[in-house]
Amino acid sequence: MLSQDKASLRIDAGLLDAINEAAVQTYPNEFVAALRAEEGTIREMLMLPGTISGETSGILHLHMLPIDFSVVGTVHSHPGHSARPSEADLAFFSHFGSVHIITCLPFDRTSWRAYNLRGERIELKVEG
Ligand SMILES: [Zn+2]
């Protein structure tokens, strides 16, 4: 079982690359996805329509999430050079999941940050 704020949580390196690729493809819009974990490693994303910030076209459609306890959090892209959570992001994080990743320009392996539900930085080990 996953619990919140676990330093041992990991993310698959291939998924990280896929996240950045999706961010590039969606640019200059945000992309949003739910994250699924297996045995403490985030291995899969579920693309969702919508945005968190409302800067572009509305809100994330949370009702489209499967009812599935392997969903541990979310990832979204920022079409700028800051991976800091916005106020809308912080409000969103507090409602759903325990791990929230933001990736920003230039969308590479160094341009992402992970946060807990309070918007505090957490470490995610990259696996593989
Ligand atoms: Zn954001």
Catalytic residue among 21, 30, 39, 123: 30
> What average pLDDT score do residues 88-117 get?
91
pLDDT (tens digit per residue) in 38-78: 999 999 998 877 666 554 434 556 666 666 668 899 999 99
The residues placing their C-beta within 5 Å of ligand 1, an ion, are 86, 89
Q: Where are the domains of the chain?
A: 10-127
Distance (Å, rounded) from C-alpha 86 to C-alpha 115? 12
Superfamily for domain range 10-127:
Cytidine Deaminase, domain 2 (3.40.140.10)
In this structure, the strands spanning 99-104 and 125-127 are: unpaired
Distance (Å, rounded) from C-alpha 44 to C-alpha 26? 18
pTM here is 0.84
CA of 52 to the centre of ligand 1 (A): 6
CA of 77 to the centre of ligand 1 (A): 7
Q: Is 30 a catalytic residue?
A: yes
pLDDT (tens digit per residue) in 20-37: 999 999 999 888 888 999
